[in-house]
Amino acid sequence: MTEAAAPVDELSALGTPLRKFRFAAAGEGNKQEGGARKFIQTAQQAEEYGYDTFVVPDHLGDQIGPIAALGALSQATDRIRLGTSVLANGFRHPVVLAKDLATIDVLSKGRLEVGIGAGWKADEFAAAGLDYDRPGIRLAKLDETLSILDVLLRGQECTFEGKYYQVRGIKGTPRPRQGPRPPLCTGGGGPRMLKLAAKHADIISVVPVTTPKGQGLLSSITLEKTIEKVELIKEAAGERFSQIELNWAVTAIVITDDREKMAEMALAALDRGQLPDLEVDTQLTVSDILNSPYVAIGTFEEIADQMRRVRQLTGMSYIGIYPTQMDAFAPVIPLLREE
């Protein structure tokens, strides 16, 4: 774990020490963001704003390649940590991936965070001619990958006989700068994925449940459902739960002096079907919207108070911000820094 994530004295509602807030910005280098040429400038701006980490997703559409991009950022930035959110396991063999990740950690002088998931965009796998396995197999492959990365990213020799991957005496080189290894991050919204994360991860991302089409379930964005997910992680992780940092991504940030009115407008937009990234499977109230960890509405001070309340009730402390929201959230960071 990173020094910035060290526990503080106060306890969360779940009885575990609160961690200091950390903040992650993201960039894809797509046309909407100004393309690959502006990508480095975006990461440098995130560093100037005070974000702790800059992460890159992993898709085959309109975005830059995350491995090459992090290699460039290792030289173009000085302090900000660099991560993936998240690599699709089915795109790369874990031994080859470990080599690239270790190299980035060395080049960045120990600033890498490794985010990896099972992969979920079936259309990308199909377009690339890659096998898109059923969920149970994808999770089993990720389980094996995380076991292999755990060894190789320590600079140790790996011999692994799994159902899907076999490694016969490969040593992890170069030796990463971080010890014992760069932190591993994975997560999800469903029980199987969260239990797998509890087994392996140093950082667990708690996300809404998604449909096969990639839409988030509206019922899954509430504070109550988020607490249920964290409780599941705590039970599955056992004694190591206190060592795990919990992350979530704020998907919408609205700066306003009237929180209630804006929440009412959001509910009206849902009723009109204007938020296609969400599947409406329940009816929410204004209170549900305003308390959701995934929606930040209000003044900068009100949003900071909301982040404090989410941390107090869930133990989650590592806040991720979507690329288009980086500028909007930046003034909140000084309000929470060192808390």
> How far apart (Å, rounded) are the C-alpha atoms in residues 15 and 28?
37
Q: Predicted confidence band at 6 (pLDDT cuts at 50, 70, 90)? A: low
* pLDDT at residue 216 is higher than 50: yes
Residue 8's pLDDT band, with cuts at 50, 70 and 90, is low
> In the structure encoding, which two tokens stand for residue 242, read together?
């206190």
Average per-residue pLDDT for the chain:
94
Domain ranges, ordered by start, for the chain: 11-250+316-336
Tell if the pTM clears 0.85, that is, is over it. yes
**pLDDT tens digits for range 63-94:** 999 999 999 999 999 999 999 999 999 999 99
| SS3 category, 269 | helix
Instruction: Please name the residues in contact with 338: beta carbons below 8 A apart, sequence gap of 6 or more.
Output: 20
Four-residue CA torsion sign, 308, 113, 90, 59: positive
- What pLDDT is attached to residue 1? 41
- Tens of pLDDT, residue by residue over 281-299, are 889 999 999 999 999 999 9
Please list the alpha-helical segments (H only) found in the chain. Answer: 35-49, 66-76, 94-107, 122-128, 135-152, 191-200, 223-237, 259-271, 286-291, 300-314, 326-329, 333-336
Q: Answer whether CATH 3.60.15.10 is correct for domain 11-250+316-336.
A: no
- Tell me the C-alpha distance between 290 and 262, whole Å: 9
pLDDT, position 7? 62
Cα dihedral 90, 94, 100, 105, rounded to 10, equals 110
